[in-house]
Amino acid sequence: MDAGELGSRNLVATWVEVPPGARQTSHSHENAEQIYVVVKGTGTMIVAGDREQVGVGDLVLIPPATDHGIENEGDEDLVYVTAASPPVSMQELYENELAEVTGYDDDEDL
């Protein structure tokens, strides 16, 4: 749900499925605070350089302007929901190429 969808003006929410071996590279949002809620699998959350194991039911708060990312080092998909306010543009997220997958070539299907 990007800003403006479903009547939202001050919030963006995403559902993310991270395959084994993939990670969201470290990034920050200057003005937005964000939460991550793990709904399936396990992973490692990196916030301001600190690494912490996360699993189903864990909620992580990311303050504004704080570097963060998440890695799936397990054998099953890591699934989480995020919400940010004020909203972060989905276009901005995708343009920043936040996901990396070991051995995956993004241009392979072109």
Three-class secondary structure of residue 91 per DSSP: helix
pLDDT digits (tens, 9 = 90+) for 27-63: 888 899 999 999 999 999 999 999 999 999 999 999 9
Q: Where are the domains of the chain?
A: 5-101
Fold (topology level) of 5-101? Jelly Rolls (2.60.120)
29's enclosing H/E stretch is: none
Is this prediction's pTM over 0.85? no
For residue 46 the two structure tokens come to 């990196």
What is the per-residue pLDDT across 54-110, written as a single tens digit (0 to 9) for each? Answer: 999 999 999 999 999 999 999 999 999 999 988 776 666 555 545 554 444 444 444
